[in-house]
Structure formats: structure tokens, C-alpha cells
Amino acid sequence: MNGETSPVCGVVLLREDGAALLQLRDDRPDIQDPGIWVFPGGHVEAGEPPEAGARREFLEETRYLCDHLEPLVSFDARSVGYSGDYPIIFFWTRFDGKQALECCEGQELRFVKAEEVALLPRRDYLTRVWDLALAASAISAEHGQICEGHDQSNTGGSDVLANIEYHASDQ
């Protein structure tokens, strides 16, 4: 897989108050989404499962090890305005409040509250993905903490998230 067709995976790391960890991308013309705020992530390597790629990219960019990731949403890059033909896949997890975060890529890395995001340069889908993560977090909280190997279909969360479709007109 090359960078143009391999999936891009991101992680929505949620703090207890609903704030999400965002990364301000470098402002360089040779990269995708220069100078805007994104969820940390990147391209999956050849033969790498999306969850493993998301975990690796998140660790490389933040020095934060996500012990457990929950699938959130997947959509085609073209449906949100990118020119490439590849899937964009998001996972979510809760911040453990223990590990330190370090900005290893981009200009800045910080938790942002939902009410602040409207003031930041970003892709429109960022807020929709964030809302999905908040909804998934609320669903999982109703059913207790997620543990490794937990079957999400028993929480009702998969039904809520599986019916999300993104269209180019939603940008």
C-alpha cells in the first residue's frame, strides 16, 4: 500500500470533561491539511491492521500509549473533500490522566473543549467525529468501563455508529 491508497487512521482521545486531544499540523505546503487542527493519526503501513496503525501513529505523534481503542467510524476520503481514494478510520478511547503527552509532530498538541473548536481552523468533519466519540463514550459509560476484548455489539453502540454516512454535501 502506498500513502495515497492506504487507510488513514486517527484516534479521538477524550478527557473526562469531553475535551478531545487535537494536534495543530505543521504549516507546510507539502503535507495534507497544513496549519489546521486534527485528531492525531496517519497512514497505515502495508499489512498493518487499522487499529494497530492508529495506535502506532498516535504513539509516534504524542508518546501516549492507547491500551484500548474502540472503533468509531469509517468513511471515504473523497466524501469529505480529499482528492485521494482511501478510507479514513477513527477510533476513540478515554484519557487515563496518568500518561504524559508530548508533541512529536506538528506545531502544538493540546486538549480542546467542544466550545473552543469553532474558533480553530479545521475540517468540518472533525466536529462530527468528535460528536460520535462523545456519544460512544456516553453509551459505554452506561454499561460500565470498556475492557479489552469487550463485545461492543452488546452495548448498543455499534447500532448507533454503524448507520453514519458522510456525503460530500455535508462539508
pLDDT tens digits, one per residue of 72-98: 999 999 999 999 899 999 999 999 999
Q: Where are the domains of the chain?
A: 8-170
% of residues, the chain, pLDDT over 70: 79
What pLDDT sits at residue 93? 97
User: CATH homologous superfamily for 8-170?
Assistant: Nucleoside Triphosphate Pyrophosphohydrolase (3.90.79.10)
What pLDDT sits at residue 5? 81
Contacts of residues 96-101 at CB distance under 8 Å and 24 or more positions apart, as own/partner, are: 96/67, 97/15, 97/16, 99/63, 99/64, 99/65, 100/63, 100/64, 101/21, 101/62, 101/63, 101/64
Please give the residue that has the higher pLDDT: either 152 or 102: 102
Q: Is the predicted pLDDT of residue 10 greater than 80, yes or no?
A: yes
Quick: pLDDT tens for 139-170: 776 654 433 333 333 333 333 334 344 333 33
Strand partners, 109: 23
